[in-house]
Amino acid sequence: MRDYLKKRPLFLCSLIGACICVMGYYSKTAVFFAGICFIIICFVLIYNSVQVPYVVVMILLVLFSVRLLKTYEKIESAQKVCGTELKGRFIVCESPEENDGYYTSVLESAGCDGIENGTRIFVFSNESGFECGDALSAVVYADSIDERYKLSNYSEKIYLNGNIEEISDVEKDADPVLSVFEDIRGYIRKTLFSGMKYDEAATLSAVVFGDRSYIDDEFYELIKRAGVSHVMVVSGMHLAIIVSLVTRISGKLFYSSGVKAVLIFITVLFMTALCGFTKSIIRAGVCYIIYAVSILTRRDNDSVNTLGGAVTVILIAEPMTVFSISFQLSALSTLGIVAAAIPSVRYITERRFLGGRCDGLLGAVAVTSFAMLFTLPVTSYVFGYVSSVSVVTNILISFAVTLALGLAAAGLVIYPFIPVIGKCLLNAAGIAAAYINLVIREFGSLPFAVIKLGKLAFVCSLALLFSVIWALFACKKRTDMLKLKAVNRKIVKEGGGKLRWR
């Protein structure tokens, strides 16, 4: 384990950073002393001429500690205005959603007395005459966040609740970026729902840009029971499909690695903005930006270290992200895939244990199983249940999701220019969506689809996870020792001296 982490310093940095953030939530003093310790260690490393990556890790951890303290200062500053009226200008960050006769939205202060600019407020309103990207001149009564939702709100940079008491002016399209992408989402919704059945369009709107508002509660319950919630929330999987599509097309048209890297960068920025900067897609986006940089610099790209780098960057930008459930599930499932599933499949296929006839099926099972295993501690602690059919369901719909997303993306791009071709592609995507819905209904409705977990499930899931990790490292060490023995036999046979295991 020590050698594994030494070769992946950014991954180690992300693990330590997450621990500091959790400690800091309960004690700011712990963060301060952790930062001091990192500064001391950093100077010691520099004095002893240790490798540059470890010095960079210490510097990043110091930055993270400072950023965490600044975040808590901002939260405390926001809490001081609780129970008061805030008058000023606010930018609408999310379009209003109706809930039992009232509307909810998120506002960001942009010139308001008593509160820092950029502070987000989750607001309730009796009217909805505004959209994402508009600016409001309004009076908002500020209140504290309920303890039950504090961590989830903090992870979204929301530090206050509020009620909109008065709106004196609405400035349309005040934030052009938010407005443009809200218009694009509107185009996608209109195109999908005007040309296919409601259920299929609802599924595609969730798959394409993460809009679950058209999926009814009954069907979403089946989605959770089937263990495929990640399909209806735009995640790293969706971004991987789009980036893969773009890179394949660019590879056919261009030979320059620079063009490929720029296209990846543009695709990541566009998809991240289109999907509303959700935590899971930001994590995946940063990973692909690091991948694009590695293409330009012509350096090897270790997947686990890249994941650690992405998590580190995100936590330095917004430390409270570590408490986002979607971010935790996204990072842990990706870690399970790149650190366990892919090496395991490679190990088995290299030795041809299955004769090479089931490699595709083996990969699908391994990816789903390890992603489920690595996220099990979070799901058991937060939700208290696990889907018993998730592995089968994910295998059955994985190709269909890729097909639906690819066809829908191509159809939406082509439709304004060549409606006939665009319509055909969207209809094909609708067929794939209908298949996805069918599988979810069949497996999600099974009486044994969900296994409820007891109070000790979290501890047991952690023990299982660490046992599997230990077994994987033990297998790798055993494999390396066998390779060393084979090399030694060859060297001795040729008259040389044996190599030593270190």
Domain range list for the chain: 2-79, 85-174, 185-459
Q: pLDDT per residue over 248-286, tens digit each?
A: 877 777 767 778 888 888 888 888 888 877 777 888 888
- Using only C-alpha atoms, the chain has a radius of gyration, in whole angstroms, of 25
Closest CA to 311 of 338, 292, 290, 339: 290
- Quote the distance between the C-alpha of residue 244 and its chain's center: 17
Report which secondary-structure segment, H or E, holds 377. helix 359-382
Closest CA to 170 of 107, 124, 219: 107
**CA 62-67-69 angle, 5° bins:** 100
Quick check: 223 and 240 in contact, CB under 8 A?
Answer: no
Backbone angles phi, psi at 155, to 5 degrees: -65, -20
Q: Which of 124-133, 168-177, 481-490 has the lowest mean pLDDT?
A: 481-490
The residues near 32 (Cβ < 8 Å, ≥ 6 apart) are 65, 69
Average confidence score pLDDT of the chain: 83
Query: Using CA atoms, how far apart are residues 393 and 229, in angstroms rounded to an integer?
Result: 11
SS3 398: helix
Hey, what are 127's tokens? 């009217």
Q: pLDDT per residue over 74-105, tens digit each?
A: 888 888 889 899 999 999 998 888 887 789 99
Question: CA dihedral defined by 266, 13, 378, 344, rounded to 10 degrees?
Answer: 80
Report which secondary-structure segment, H or E, holds 128. none
Alpha helix ranges (H) inside 196-341: 198-209, 217-226, 236-253, 257-274, 279-297, 303-317, 325-336
Closest CA to 322 of 84, 38, 15: 15
Q: pLDDT per residue over 164-193, tens digit each?
A: 998 888 898 888 888 888 889 899 999 999
- Quote the distance between the C-alpha of residue 331 and its chain's center: 6
The residues near 166 (Cβ < 8 Å, ≥ 6 apart) are 138, 139
Q: What is the pLDDT of residue 501?
A: 47
Question: CA dihedral defined by 389, 437, 231, 336, rounded to 10 degrees?
Answer: 20
Q: What is the pLDDT of residue 91?
A: 93
User: Residue 357 above 70 pLDDT?
Assistant: no
Task: Give helix 9-26 / helix 303-317 axis angle, nearest 10°.
Answer: 30
pLDDT tier, 161 (very low <50, low <70, confident <90, very high otherwise): very high
Q: Which of 42-46, 49-53, 325-329, 384-388 has the lowest mean pLDDT?
A: 42-46
Query: Using CA atoms, how far apart are residues 499 and 481, in angstroms rounded to an integer?
Result: 11
Q: Which of 207-211, 248-252, 486-490 has the lowest mean pLDDT?
A: 486-490
Q: What is the pLDDT of residue 444?
A: 92
Closest CA to 76 of 128, 119, 21, 41: 119
More confident residue, 376 or 293: 376
Query: Using CA atoms, how far apart are residues 396 and 84, in angstroms rounded to an integer?
Result: 54
Query: Using CA atoms, how far apart are residues 345 and 331, in angstroms rounded to an integer?
Result: 20
CATH code for the part of the protein at 85-174: 2.40.50
